[in-house]
């Protein structure tokens, strides 16, 4: 879901949501998860027009079918159109407007997992942790899927409930989700443990995400950064410097790793 991440960045291309750096050290609640639009919700390619019908036609078929199953016939097209517009706005980085559209979709289709997921993600982007938690828990309950557990966990972290984070991460690690989602679950759980000064447990949890020095996926760099940050907070400065050095070797501009490395050298 990243270490370097929180509301503010652009979503559609899976970019980090907010730089962490000093903010992470000063207020170690969340500043940790990033996310990108789930493939199941990504609109189909096509010419964009201003009409609601043209926008709705871009909504993935299975999402539209789910709304048809869960909403009253009189409300189905309105819910589909509003949801499609919310996704489009969220991909553009306009979480506030996305919330407005998703709330209208929810009024029309409150039992739609897709609607609740998008609304929860938009609220997460705006730092509305409690409301995001409510919506994403509803998504999880309706869909039965744990693939947003890392965001639910990060909301709990932000709300000062770190003890509830690890079980959610454990469940996501056991589930059939993407490697990136699992990495986000590891990051959030390790960060929650570190919030409680349980540094050895945090580092052990990070060790469950295997990485290779010659491979630097974006989530790999985030894992290394979180490890470096936790090591630094635990007073293990030489080991922390080694983690930040790994990041800089792959991408000298990633996060504030170069600054952290300089400070530890």
Give tens-digit pLDDT for 172-230: 999 999 888 999 999 999 999 999 999 999 999 999 988 777 777 788 999 999 999 99
pLDDT at 50 > cutoff 50: no
Q: Which long-range contacts (CB under 8 A, 24 or more apart) does 133-136 make?
A: 133/159
- Give the span between the Cα atoms of 203 and 201, in whole angstroms: 5
Query: Which domains are assigned to the chain?
Result: 39-146 (1.25.40.10)
Q: In the predicted model, is pLDDT for residue 67 greater than 60?
A: yes
Provide the mean pLDDT of the chain: 82
Identify the residue with better confidence: 20 or 45: 45
Can you give the pLDDT at residue 20? Answer: 24
pLDDT for the residue numbered 34: 54
The H-assigned helical ranges of 177-234 are: 179-195, 199-206, 218-233
pLDDT tens-digit readout, 95-130? 999 999 999 999 999 999 999 999 999 999 999 999
Span 248-265, pLDDT tens digits: 999 999 899 999 999 998
Long-range contacts of 127-133 (CB under 8 A, 24+ apart): 127/6, 127/7, 127/158, 129/30, 129/155, 129/158, 129/159, 130/155, 130/159, 133/159
Structure tokens, 206: 């990070």
**Residue linked to tokens 């789930």:** 38
| pLDDT for res 38 | 55
User: What pLDDT does residue 51 have?
Assistant: 42
Alpha carbon 178 to its chain centroid, in Å, reads 13
Residue 30 is predicted with a pLDDT of 39
For residues 54 and 225, give the distance between their C-alpha atoms in angstroms, rounded to a whole number: 42
pTM, 2 dp: 0.79
Inter-residue contact 118 to 98 (CB < 8 Å): yes
pLDDT band for 2, please (50, 70, 90 cuts).
very low
User: Which pLDDT band holds residue 15 (cuts at 50, 70, 90)?
Assistant: very low
- Angle at CA 136, nearest 5°, toward 134 and 139? 115
Does position 3 have pLDDT exceeding 50, yes or no? no
Return the pLDDT at 33: 56
d(CA 81, CA 188): 34
Model pLDDT, residue 193: 96
Whether 117 contacts 105, CB under 8 Å: no
Distance CA 69, CA 199 (A): 47
């Amino acid at each position: 879901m990243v270490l370097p991440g929180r509301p503010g960045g652009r979503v559609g291309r899976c970019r980090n949501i907010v730089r962490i750096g000093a903010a992470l050290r000063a207020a170690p609640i969340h500043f940790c998860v990033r996310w990108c639009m789930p493939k199941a919700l990504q609109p189909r390619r096509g010419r964009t027009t201003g009409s609601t019908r043209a926008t709705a036609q871009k909504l993935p078929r299975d999402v539209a079918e789910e709304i048809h199953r869960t909403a009253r016939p009189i409300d189905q097209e309105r819910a589909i159109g509003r949801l499609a517009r919310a996704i489009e706005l969220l991909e553009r980085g306009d979480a506030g407007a996305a919330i407005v559209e998703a709330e209208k979709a929810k009024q029309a289709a409150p039992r739609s997992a897709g609607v609740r997921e998008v609304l929860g993600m938009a609220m997460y982007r705006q730092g509305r942790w409690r409301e995001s938690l409510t919506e994403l828990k509803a998504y999880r309950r309706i869909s039965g899927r744990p693939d947003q557990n890392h965001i639910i966990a990060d909301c709990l972290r932000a709300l000062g409930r770190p003890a509830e984070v690890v079980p959610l991460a454990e469940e996501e690690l056991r589930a059939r989700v993407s490697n990136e989602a699992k990495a986000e679950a590891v990051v959030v759980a390790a960060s929650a443990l570190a919030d409680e000064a349980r540094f050895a447990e945090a580092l052990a949890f990070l060790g469950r995400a295997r990485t290779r020095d010659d491979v630097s996926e974006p989530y790999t760099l985030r894992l290394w950064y979180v490890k470096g940050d936790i090591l630094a907070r635990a007073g293990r400065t030489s080991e922390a410097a080694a983690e930040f050095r790994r990041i800089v070797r792959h991408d000298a501009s990633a996060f504030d790793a170069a600054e952290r490395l300089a400070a530890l050298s």
